[in-house]
Amino acid sequence: MAKILLTEDDDAVRTFVSRALELDGHQVVEAEDGEDGYDRLNEHEGEFDLLLTDIKMPFMDGIALSRTAAASFPELKILMMTGFADQRERTDGIENIVIDVVSKPFTLEQIRSAVSKALIEGEAALDKAS
């Protein structure tokens, strides 16, 4: 299964999503904001199959994290999530590095499905680029 970096500032959402992904056998590394997420990326030398990040977070938001992560680790697949419609619009211009944006609130099945789809689509995109 996949190794996923989950970056989410809401403890309850982070725990819910982490447990959902672990049910599918994924290894999940958690980060509580963008700066923490970037530190974890570097600690693990970018060895993640997917970055799943909230958009709106303190310190470094998910968009800044995604841009920084993509610059340092261009093979990293990125899936974003947000509960704010105006935040979703902020992803315009980074479609080339973000596979999709999942709207909150979501169910257990919806987040599991979105992650599965992102992993599959990310692999397909990498195969095309090869």
Q: Express each pLDDT in 2-60 by its tens digit.
A: 999 999 999 999 999 999 999 999 999 999 999 999 999 999 999 999 999 999 999 89
Half-sphere exposure (CA, 13 Å, Cβ side) for 119? 17
Would you list the domain boundaries of the chain? 3-129
Domain at 3-129, CATH homologous superfamily:
Response regulator (3.40.50.2300)
